[in-house]
Amino acid sequence: MKPKGRVDVGDMAPDFVLPDQSGQPVRLRDLIGEQALVLYFYPKDGTPGCTLEARAFQRSHDRFTEVGARVVGISADSVASHRRFAARQGLSFPLLSDRGNAVRELYGVEKTLGLLPGRATYVIDAKGVVRNIFSSQVLVTRHSRNALGTLEKLRDTP
């Protein structure tokens, strides 16, 4: 039996509503359906690792679009912090504000060293099924490559 509050590969992605960097509510189930979704949780706007990770997702944005997927980032930072971070980095995908870490806990994103918010990426297919989870606090640019590889395999599987 898996622990409560932990999403595994093969599970339906739990629905949630969080504000994006414009303050507009975004609902998970509205993001999936026709497209897959790459949902990545990261610790904090503007830190070196999180900046590298966001830039990696942005550099691959066209490839994500080609394989039929959207990218969405989530952290506990405020809407205003996300707005500044997205503008500074030229991000063309939404960043969602999970101020109380409720969605992070819902998905079971583990803390690093028991203290720091974890870094995890979930690839969710168009039906809402979690197809891959990649978790690494230090391999920040590998998150986008891993997600793209999973999506390419899904696209090529009949």
Rounded alpha-carbon distances, angstroms, from residue 125 to 1, 59, 109, 129: 24, 21, 19, 5
d(CA 96, CA 146): 21
**Domain ranges, ordered by start, for the chain:** 17-156
Structural tokens at position 33: 């359906």
Query: Would you state the pLDDT for residue 4?
Result: 54
d(CA 136, CA 37): 19
- Put simply, whether the predicted model's pTM sits higher than 0.85 gets the answer yes
**Would you say 94 and 20 are in contact if contact means Cβ atoms under 8 Å apart?**
yes
| Residue of 50, 109, 120, 123 marked active site | 50
> Out of 1.25.40.10, 3.40.190.10, 3.40.30.10, 3.40.605.10, which CATH number does the structure's domain 17-156 have?
3.40.30.10
pLDDT tens, per residue, the chain with 158 residues: 344 568 999 999 999 999 999 999 999 999 988 889 999 999 999 999 899 999 999 999 999 999 999 999 999 999 999 999 999 999 999 999 999 999 999 999 988 766 778 899 999 999 999 999 998 766 777 888 889 889 988 887 75
- Active site (annotated) includes residue 53: no
Q: pLDDT tens digit string along 91-131? A: 999 999 999 999 999 999 988 766 778 899 999 999 999 99
Residues in the chain: 158
Query: Would you state the pLDDT for residue 111?
Result: 80
d(CA 18, CA 3): 24
